[in-house]
Amino acid sequence: MGFCMFQPLAIPDVILITPKRHIDARGFFAETFRADQYAAAGIAGPFVQDNQAFSEDKFVLRGLHYQIAPSAQAKLVTCTQGRIYDVAVDLRKTSTSFGTWVGVELSAEAGQQLYIPEGFAHGYLTLTTRCEVRYKVTDYYCPSDERGLAWDDPDLAITWPLDGEPPILSAKDVLLPKLNALADVF
């Protein structure tokens, strides 16, 4: 058996990855990335940049973000502190799942990762205070190629677990367009 379990989600190109943990009295050890096994699971990379985000409060919503060509990015997301609800929205016009989304809870305790390929908008909601998220990307951040999608687009109908609370958004994320206003980017 490999060091990780790779589980395609309802949109099969989005993959939930569960690294095998070796646990003893000291804690645990896990291999969290091996290029050869990721490539065998359809996650080729290469990953060229690592990002880290910290949110102090519960219900911080970051996203939905993506980059267009020539700087489109695949992402490998891990929650290293706390818990988040991670969402990927398919923006590939030729895909049978265009305009649909998948969401999973990621936590430091479970140690899972979410692979999101190019052509998807990505966002997450913090479910606890003091959340840290780290993710690898396959292209460098490019401000001129950065785009976004409204987190609350009724056509997407994403079920964010907000427990009736309003999300905490950046000024930029409040202004993101809805899916029907996006140009064909993928």
Q: Would you please indicate which residues are annotated as catalytic (active-site) residues?
A: 65, 135
Q: In 10 A of CB 176, how many CB atoms?
A: 22
Within 13 A of 59's CA, how many CA atoms are on the CB side?
Answer: 8
d(CA 97, CA 95): 5
Helices (H), 90-177: 171-174
Which conformational region is residue 63 in: left (phi greater than 0), alpha (psi within -120 to 50 degrees), or beta?
A: left
With a CB cutoff of 8 Å and minimum separation 6, the contacts of 82 are 107, 108, 126, 127, 128, 129, 130, 131, 132
Q: What angle do CA 180, 183, 186 make, to 5 degrees?
A: 110
